[in-house]
Every structure is written in C-alpha cells, then in structure tokens.
Amino acid sequence: MNKLIINSLILILAFGLKAAGQQQLSPEQCRKMALEKNEDLKIAGMQAGKAAHMKAAARTLRLPSLSVTGTGLYQNKDFGMEMLLPTQIPNPLTGQLEPNIMINPLTGEPVIGPDGNPVFNMYAWLPLEISLNGAYLATISLDQPVYAGGRIRAGNLMADLGVEMAEENTRLQIVNTIEEADRAYWTFVSVRSKTMLAGQAVKMLEELVTRAKNSHATGMASRNDLLKAQVELSHARLNLQKAQQGMELSRMDLCRVTGLPFDTRIIVTDTLQDAESLTPTTVNPEPARPENRPEYQLLLKKIGMQDHQIRMERAEFLPTAGIRAGYNHIGGIELSGTGFENTSFNVMASVSIPLFHWGEGMQKIKAARLEKEIRETELTKYNQLMMLEAEQARLNLVLASERIRMSKEALEQANENLRVSRDNYEVGMGTMSDLLIAQTQWQQAHSELIDARSDYKIKETAWLKISGKLNAE
C-alpha cells in the first residue's frame, strides 16, 4: 500500500504543475547547467579575457614603436623681409673668398663695431618674400626604449599576475556556482521528499478516519476516537499544503540557479526517502589546507602584485634611455618665388635622469610598502579564519554522517512502534491517541532522515569547496 501511495504521489508531483516544459535533473546536470547560466561566472570569464589582453599589451612595451606625423599649413598672406648681408671679396693670392672686413690703416686690425662684431666695407641688400601657403611637414619616426628603470619588466610581471588572479577568480566563481547548484538541488529533493511524506501521512490518516467511522457506526469505537483522527487529518492536510508551497518555491529557486524558465516542471533523479540510499562516502575527512583554496591564492598573488608595484614606483625616479630614428620631409615653401623642399634623416639618443621631486618618489615607495604590509596582514588573518572554517566544515560533515546513522535507528524504532500501536489498536489493546502519536513519530523520523541526508550532501559540497577539491568535473 505504501509503495502504491508513493508512486502515485510521484506521478502527481511530476505532472501536476501547469508548465510549459519539463526537465529531468541529476546533480551533475544541475551543476553543468548552473555553470553555463551563471552571470558571475560569465563576468569572471570576461575578466580573464581582459587580463590576457592586458598581458599581450604589456609585452609590446619592449618593442619599437613606429609613428607617422603630417603637418600642413595654410596662410592667406605672404610676408617679406629685408636683409643686409656681409660681403666677401676674393683674395688675390689664393683666389679664395674672404670677408670684406674694414681694416684700420693705423693698426692693421679689423674695425670692431658697437655690437662687438667686425665692420664690413660693403653690405648686400637682400629682399625676401616668403610664402607658406601649402607648406607641409611629413615625419616618420621609430622609437626604441633601451632602459626604463625596470618599469617595463615590472609591468610585464604585473600583467602575468593579473592573468593568474583572473584564473583564480574564475575558479572561485566555479566552486561558488557548484556549491549553489548543489544546495538548490538537494534542497528541492529534500522538500519534494517531505511533500511526498506529507501526502503519505494524509493517505494513512484518511484510511484511519474511514476505519474509525466504520468502527463508530458499529459501536466498536468511540466518537472521541473519530474526532481525534479527523483533527489529525486536518492538521496533516494543512501540513501537506505548506509542504507543496515550499516545494514550489524550492523548484523556482532551482530553476533560477540552472537558468530554466520558472514554469518548468522538474523531475529529479534522486530521492531522500529511501532508507538505504545516499550512504555517506566521507565519514572522517582529512583536515583541509587553506592554500588549496582560490581565495588564499588570490590574497597571495595580491602580495606579489604589491612587490611589483613597489618596483614600478621606484622606476619612476630612475634614469631612462631610448633611441629615436626619424625621416623628415618639408615642402610647399616658396622663397621669393622659388620653391623650397628638404629631406633629412636623423638618429637621436636620449637619457633622462630625475634629480629632485621634493621627496615624491620616496613617499610613493613608502605608501606601496605599507600597502604590501596590509596585504600580508590580511593573508595572516584570513589564513587563520580559513583554517578554522576548514575544521568547522570537517566536523560538520562528521556530525552530518553521524546524524544519518542515528536517524536511521530512530526510523527503525518509529516503524516498529507504529506497527505495534496499529496492531494493539485493532485488537482493542491500544488507544487512538497512542496510534496517532505513533504515526506522528513515524512521520517525524522519516522527515529527520530526509533532513539528515540532504544536510549531509550540502555539508559534503561545502567541505569539498573549503578543502579545494571541488571542481566542475
């Protein structure tokens, strides 16, 4: 009879919801769907991609950069100037042109003007008309950094750590998502099993009320017994309604986690009502190591990031050196109606040495060192908390396993007590109150075993997460 009732309830729960679709879920399927739909995990993936691009960008800092610059000028008016240029005369002995300097006949020395320069015997007058309408300058330059005070190396190492941190953050989001999926799945299985149990209790009380009515009609049972059974039946129906409402909320939460529409009918592959199912696999787990957790690795890499940040701050105040090669072409200029163009190639080496910045560099370095000390203190603090958390998770799992064992024993006792109470009542040696109490204890024992098994599965996932052993595989 009980098996028939359970099977009927399964069919009711499976097909009773008015929904657009149906989805069968196992714990593995639930995890997979949650990982595919989780928004935080998607964001973590995009952050990992961003870190990879930043790493690739940092690698280019060692390479030369090529740039092209073009400049054009339009000027609506030309402008002119007049120039007096010193003249030169040929030396009769050498034939070479020499400055036409005025010589003092008394001293034989050149005559010096008020400006301190020699005075010429004759000056040439040169009028110039300059046109910049259409002038342009084109430049191609190649810059190669030679030394940047360690800034480039530090930047590359920081980019590498950024990728590693993004990977650890992705791993953290994966385990968080799996933990949430397992919690939602086993909570739904638990509430579903309790709903089936509540339905089974209603069926049992309905049968009892029917027998009590028949017995009362024949004078074999008192009206008080009938009323007691009817009261318990009303309470059982109310509890069933509450359980169904809780199952509906739990189903919607599971749909949220897995990304399914909220009106999806969910059929799970597990049940927590079978007394022989879900035997604990990890009775006495080993203590977990905090360094296996992504949270610990993230804190550790933040310290490494601060080491490189100190080097970056120090590099800001170290010499830098570089080489630039350029190809220039200027044209579009007219001098007194004659076009002017020029092409040149140049190579330049530069060195920059910071000398004094009012202690700015030292203050920044001190600030970066203090930030590193903060990260190290945080690591020490959270390492202790993680160790405490790990031990708590281990003890919780051990306790959950023991709870299943004790709940099984209690259920066996409740089953036997219900059998004896039913037999005694049928032969007139027991009361209706005793039978109702036995049925209530039987339902409570079943419910406790369901809670113990679901609690164990959730605690097991939590311990695997804390121990760093939880993954998507």
Claim to verify: residue 274 and residue 387 sit in the same structural domain: yes
**Are residues 205 and 273 part of one domain?**
yes
pLDDT at 5: 40
Is there a single domain that holds both residue 163 and residue 32?
Answer: yes
Judge if 197 and 288 occupy the same domain: yes
* Domain carrying residue 62: 2-66+150-318+359-466
CATH of the domain at 58: 1.20.1600.10
Q: What is the pLDDT along the chain (473 residues), one digit of tens a residue?
A: 344 344 444 444 444 444 458 999 999 999 999 999 999 999 999 999 999 999 999 998 888 999 999 888 777 776 677 777 788 888 888 878 888 888 888 888 888 888 888 888 887 777 777 777 778 889 999 999 888 888 889 999 999 999 999 999 999 999 999 999 999 999 999 999 999 999 999 999 999 999 888 887 887 778 888 899 899 999 999 999 999 999 999 999 999 999 999 999 999 988 876 545 555 655 556 777 788 899 999 999 999 999 998 988 888 888 889 999 999 988 877 766 677 788 989 999 988 888 877 888 788 888 989 999 999 999 999 889 999 988 898 899 999 999 999 999 999 999 999 999 999 988 888 888 999 999 999 999 999 999 999 999 999 999 989 888 887 66
Query: Same domain for 59 and 17?
Result: yes
**pLDDT score for 233:** 94
Assign 3-class secondary structure to the chain: CHHHHHHHHHHHHHHCCCCCEEEEECHHHHHHHHHHHCHHHHHHHHHHHHHHHHHHHHHHHHCCEEEEEEEEECCCCCEEEEEEEECEEECCCCCCEEECECECCCCCCECECCCCCECECCEEEEEEEEECCCEEEEEEEEEEEEECCCHHHHHHHHHHHHHHHHHHHHHHHHHHHHHHHHHHHHHHHHHHHHHHHHHHHHHHHHHHHHHHHHHHHCCCCCHHHHHHHHHHHHHHHHHHHHHHHHHHHHHHHHHHHHCCCCCEEEEECCCCCCCCCCCCCCCCCCCCCHHHCHHHHHHHHHHHHHHHHHHHHHHCCCCEEEEEEEEEEEEEEEECCEEEEEEEEEEEEEEECCCCCCCHHHHHHHHHHHHHHHHHHHHHHHHHHHHHHHHHHHHHHHHHHHHHHHHHHHHHHHHHHHHHHHHHHHCCCCCHHHHHHHHHHHHHHHHHHHHHHHHHHHHHHHHHHHCCCCCCC
Structural domain count of the chain: 2
- pLDDT attached to residue 241: 96
471 within some domain: no
